[in-house]
Amino acid sequence: MRTRILSSLVALPLFIVPIYFGGILFYGLVAVAFYLGLMEFDRAFKIKGKGILPMQLVCALLVMVIMWYEKETFYFSPFVLLFILLFINYVISYPKLDLKELFYGVVGFVYVPMLLVHVILVRQLPDVG
């Protein structure tokens, strides 16, 4: 119990400062959340396909770059890019990669980064951010 309290006292400022000030620190915090969320999702569904997590992360970071430069817009082009990359990966490594893992890769991308992007959208509201 003491360890949890001490770790929360150390970690709390690490989360509050980027949320309060925003900018690149906030985007870095969201990128870490993308990575941890996708890694946990892939681990939960036992996705062993080579290259699925890096493809998800590249497309998630592409979403963040789009959100950084185009403040009030939200594009689904990274989702389409992930779909294309995953199917290219499936064709190249056909016997080893299961179609179910491909589906979990797409669902994981929709579930984790696409929902966490709404944290960025809320931060970009005029009265909030």
pLDDT bin (cut points 50, 70, 90) of residue 37 is very high
Q: What is the pLDDT of residue 31?
A: 92
pLDDT bin (cut points 50, 70, 90) of residue 36 is very high
State the average pLDDT over residues 63-67. Answer: 84
Q: CB under 8 Å to 96, separation ≥6 — which residues?
A: 49, 50
Residue-wise pLDDT tens digits, 77-128: 787 888 888 888 888 888 888 888 888 888 988 899 888 888 888 888 887 6
